[in-house]
């Protein structure tokens, strides 16, 4: 098994699921052309198209509702920056 950074594993999982199921789509802030804040969605728009990797305003509940209206299985991204303090 290859060692991956968490963000690389997320990106890989999204690629796998989008490939596996045509009903899966990714919607979120900066997920399209920019590839996500932490590059979690890098390459998705180029590989799967703009109709399955959609930039949206920041509103996860609205994104899920919109996805349900078009009968898609949707993943949403919510970038978080975590900081930790090294032990003293």
What is the per-residue pLDDT across 14-70, written as a single tens digit (0 to 9) for each? 999 999 999 888 887 778 777 877 888 999 999 999 988 888 776 666 666 666 666
The domain total for the chain is: 1
Q: Residue 75 corresponds to which tokens in the numbers above?
A: 């993943």
| CATH, residue 17 | 3.40.50.970
Expressed as residue numbers, the domain containing 66 is 6-76
SS3 24: strand
Does any domain span residue 88? no
Does any domain span residue 1? no
With CA atoms as reference, report the closest residue to 60 among 77, 46, 47: 77
What is the per-residue pLDDT across 71-84, written as a single tens digit (0 to 9) for each? 666 665 555 554 44
Give dist(CA 62, CA 80) in Å, integer.
Answer: 19
For the segment 5-13, the average pLDDT, to the nearest whole number, is 89
The pTM of this model reads: 0.67
- Per-residue burial over 6-40, b = 16 or more CB atoms within 10 Å of its CB, e = otherwise: eeeebbeebbeebeeeeebbbbbbbbbeebbbbeb
């Amino acid at each position: 098994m290859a060692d991956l950074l968490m963000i690389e594993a997320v990106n890989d999982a999204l690629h796998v699921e989008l490939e596996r199921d045509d009903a899966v789509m990714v919607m979120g802030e900066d997920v399209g052309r920019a590839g996500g804040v932490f590059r979690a969605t890098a390459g998705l728009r180029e590989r799967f198209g703009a109709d399955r990797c959609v930039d949206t305003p920041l509103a996860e509940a609205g994104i899920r509702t919109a996805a349900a209206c078009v009968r898609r299985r949707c993943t949403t991204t919510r970038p978080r920056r975590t900081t930790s303090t090294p032990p003293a």
